[in-house]
Structure 1
Amino acid sequence: MTELRVGLLGLGTIGIGVARILIEQQDLISRRLGKQVRLVAAADRVLDRDFGLDLSGVRLSSDASEIVTADDVDLVVELIGGYEPARTFVVTALEHGKHVVTANKALIAKHGEELFPLAAAKGLQIGFEAAVGGGIPCMKALREGLAANAIESVYGILNGTCNFILTKMENEGADYADVLKEAQALGYAEADPTFDVEGIDTAHKLSILAAMAFGSKIKFDEVYTEGISKITAADIASAHEMGYRIKLLGIAKPHANGELQQVEMRVHPTLVPVDSQIAQVSDSYNAVQISGDFVEHTMYFGRGAGERPTASAVVADIMDITSGFPDGIAHLAPPMGFVESSRREIPTMPIEDAVCEYYIRLMVKDQPGVIAAVTSILADHRISLEALIQKERHASNTVPIVMMTHETTEGNLQAAVSRITGLDAVEEDVLILRKESAVA
């Protein structure tokens, strides 16, 4: 029976999960593939510890370089994370003729455009399903199941930490800072949560999904990105009063006039209708809505992180590559869903050109004429209001005002808000949130 030999870099939470599946599910994998997958080697910086798993049949090393160049390894699984040394190990593995599977979204978002051509030139495969959505097969859906569709939009709750925080804030009326501390205590958020709560992790993932959806190059650095740290419990309550729930969304849309001309990519807290499917996704769960011209709306939901879901996706990639090993890799779909020679440099739409409806929250002095001044500025910029709510006065003698606008461009809205912020009566920075009613 044909055998594919696996070398594993990193025996952390996900690495142990992958090792467990490869060892404990050997029989199931062989029955599905008619081939064997065997974990032959693994590298980790700390080896003198209890892994909670019998690794007696696996060669252990503290030197990852030994694994990526070993003659008895056909496929390298990279689970180190981050940009370096992960990139160097992956490049070395490809140069030594080894397929690669990774769960590293930062690596793919930042260096994918270097790695994919190298793999293609050598007839090798890179699997990275676990990099976006954990155990949710959203990229496999884009690459294979929806391949006959022109993709019209991608909406994703792609970070479980942010979704957990927003859910707790809504359910308990709690402040952001308090819920963040709880998320850190539970292990959902890192000691430095910046990558999660400021939207960077979601932007990594969205840039990959957008490139796969539209046949474009990955442009992580061009994703417009805002996080959730300015959201208050009062904002969540105000949105709910108006029939909306706040979610951190990654949003990607194509803009065409005959042919694809621009790709819109943005990450930010978003108001979605409270009765929409994506609004029901709570706690640390992820969801991705992909819409195509023939299939219409499809939704992918599940655990976006954790040992078991992520390890499941990693091993699924290993099995895909094994199905064509050693000489049938060409039958697999290209890693990004388009043959490498057809992927294009497509401009990213400037955020100023994006068209949305907006939630605006400002704190003003309790004095006559303030609302008139604000609405006059909005009228000057041709921005009409769907709703305006004046809340009860605070002890500081300031009044919260919440407005919902009809559609306008981001540039138009920002110009108006810049003038509003300059009013003497406006006490704090104005909060702007975008609304998306097209989610299913």
Structure 2
Amino acid sequence: MQHFAIGLAGMGNVGAGVFKHLTQNRALLRERLGFELDVKKIALRDPKKDRGVAVPPELITTQWQDLLDDPSIQIVVELMGQKEESLRFMLGAIERGKIVVTGNKALLAEHGREIFEAATKHKVPVFFEAAVAGGIPIIKSIREAFIGNHIQSIHGIINGTSNYILTRMVESGLGFAEALVEAQEAGYAEADPTLDVDGWDAAHKAVILASLAYGFWVPTDKIFVEGVEQITANDICFAKKLGYSIKLLGIIKADAKGEIEVRVHPTLIPEKHVLASVNGVFNALAVHGDIVGDTLFYGRGAGQDPTSSSVIADLAEAAAALQAPRSNYGFMPHGLYGTCTPIDDIVSEYYLRLTVEDRPGVIAQVAGILGSLNIGISSIFQPEGDEGAAVPLILVLHKATHGQMNTALEKIGALECVKKTPRMIRVENFA
């Protein structure tokens, strides 16, 4: 039986899972694939660290260069989680003709063009299913299953940490800070949760999905990113009264002119929509193609086992590529799209929360500003309060551009009757 030698760079949580499951499911893989996947060498920083899995000492090296210098290793797995070092490793492997499997979403989002130009030059595939949504096979689906479709939109809950925090705020009435501490104690948030809660973990994944769907690498400075740090328990409560749930949503769309928008931000989603019911650390993606119509993907978006499952699937495909070389090296550029819509021109509906004096004429002043900017009001909600006291005023607004709303917020915030900085959250009704 044919054997394919694998070099594993990095043995953190996911790397340990890959080695464990390759070992435990060796017979299953052999029967299904018709060949053997053999881990020949593992590069790790600290050989003494307990990783919860027994590794034969003869496989271990502390230098990832050893994986590149071994001519018998045909496939390398990059799970180091760095940027500069990981990029050097991947480009070095590609130059040597070794197939690369990676789950490094930040690296792909920021250096995807460079990586795939090298892959095309050297005719070496790069596989990266584990970079987006853990064990959900979304990369393979967009790249292969939907190859005949114009992808018209992707809406994704693609960060489990933020989704867990927002879920706990709904279920238990916790504030953001309390829910974050709970997520850290449960192991769902890192000690430094910045990339998760500020939206950039989801943004890196959205860039990868958009680039695959539309055939060009989307620059990270052309997307809009906002995190969940400013969401309050009151926002959660008011959204529910209006029939919405709040989710950190990645939104990717294309219009008839070939312009695309990529944005990640807290979003009010109608409670009747299927994405509103995705709770805890789970991920979900709704993909709409012009032929296939609406599709939904759901599952665990992170963690050792789901992510390991995607890495092993890529290893199997990498070995198959060694047997039958292919012309698609993981990313196929094309010229049907190529322009990102400026953020000020992106159109959305909006939830607007104001803190205002409870006195006559306040709503008229706010409505006057919105009307002067051609922004319509869909609904207004104001809890009862004592006259003259500061109370919340909630408005749901019809479609407007980001630029229109910024102007409106500046003018409304300057009103004497408005006592705190206005808070805006986008609304997605999937129309």
The reply on whether 1:180 has 2:175 as its aligned counterpart is: no
The reply on whether 1:273 has 2:270 as its aligned counterpart is: yes
C-alpha distance in 2 between matches for 1:105 and 1:358: 30
Q: 1:363 is matched with which residue: 337, 341, 355?
A: 355
Contact map agreement 2:358 2:387 (CA 8 A) in 1: no
Q: Match for residue 311 of structure 1?
A: 308
Contact map agreement 1:392 1:400 (CA 8 A) in 2: no
The reply on whether 1:65 has 2:65 as its aligned counterpart is: yes
Give identity over the alignment, percent.
Answer: 40
In structure 1, the gaps of 5 or more residues are none
Q: Are residues 216 and 396 of structure 1, via their aligned partners in 2, closer, same or farther at CA, if it must alter by over 3 Å? A: farther
What amino acid is the match of 2:131?
A: A
The SS at the match of 2:340 is coil
Contact map agreement 1:151 1:293 (CA 8 A) in 2: yes
Q: Match for residue 335 of structure 1?
A: 330
Contact map agreement 1:39 1:58 (CA 8 A) in 2: no
Give TM-score, length-normalised by structure 2: 0.96
State the Cα deviation string for residues 209-243 of structure 1 (Å, max 9, x = none): 01111112232232100001111111111111111
**Deviation for aligned residue 1:24:** 1.7
The reply on whether 1:398 has 2:390 as its aligned counterpart is: yes
**Deviation for aligned residue 1:437:** 0.9
What amino acid is the match of 1:307?
A: Q
Runs of 4+ in structure 1 over 4 Å off? none
What amino acid is the match of 1:129?
A: E
C-alpha distance in 2 between matches for 1:48 and 1:344: 51
C-alpha distance in 1 between matches for 2:382 and 2:53: 60
Contact map agreement 2:358 2:385 (CA 8 A) in 1: yes
Q: Match for residue 212 of structure 1?
A: 212
**Deviation for aligned residue 1:384:** 1.2
What amino acid is the match of 2:31?
A: R
Contact map agreement 1:362 1:401 (CA 8 A) in 2: yes
C-alpha distance in 1 between matches for 2:218 and 2:373: 35
Contact map agreement 2:154 2:252 (CA 8 A) in 1: yes
Give TM-score, length-normalised by structure 1: 0.95
Q: Match for residue 138 of structure 1?
A: 138
**Deviation for aligned residue 1:37:** 0.8
Contact map agreement 2:124 2:329 (CA 8 A) in 1: no
Q: Match for residue 297 of structure 1?
A: 294
RMSD: 1.7
The SS at the match of 2:326 is helix
Contact map agreement 1:227 1:269 (CA 8 A) in 2: yes
State the Cα deviation string for residues 53-77 of structure 1 (Å, max 9, x = none): 2322751011112122222211110
**Deviation for aligned residue 1:343:** 5.5
**Deviation for aligned residue 1:51:** 3.2
**Deviation for aligned residue 1:186:** 1.5
Q: Are residues 344 and 89 of structure 1, via their aligned partners in 2, closer, same or farther at CA, if it must alter by over 3 Å? A: farther
Q: 2:430 is matched with which residue: 428, 432, 438?
A: 438
Q: Match for residue 365 of structure 2?
A: 373
**Deviation for aligned residue 1:324:** 2.4
Contact map agreement 1:112 1:218 (CA 8 A) in 2: no
State the Cα deviation string for residues 158-186 of structure 1 (Å, max 9, x = none): 10000000000011111011001111111
Contact map agreement 1:10 1:42 (CA 8 A) in 2: yes
C-alpha distance in 2 between matches for 1:56 and 1:126: 28
- Report the count of equivalent residues: 431
Q: Are residues 136 and 343 of structure 1, via their aligned partners in 2, closer, same or farther at CA, if it must alter by over 3 Å? A: farther
**Deviation for aligned residue 1:394:** 8.2
Q: Match for residue 423 of structure 1?
A: 415
C-alpha distance in 1 between matches for 2:335 and 2:329: 11
State the Cα deviation string for residues 349-379 of structure 1 (Å, max 9, x = none): 0111111111000111233322111111011
Q: Match for residue 414 of structure 1?
A: 406
Q: Are residues 314 and 394 of structure 1, via their aligned partners in 2, closer, same or farther at CA, if it must alter by over 3 Å? A: farther
C-alpha distance in 2 between matches for 1:208 and 1:51: 30
Q: Match for residue 198 of structure 2?
A: 198
C-alpha distance in 1 between matches for 2:123 and 2:366: 61
The reply on whether 1:321 has 2:318 as its aligned counterpart is: yes
C-alpha distance in 2 between matches for 1:122 and 1:401: 60
C-alpha distance in 2 between matches for 1:153 and 1:100: 29
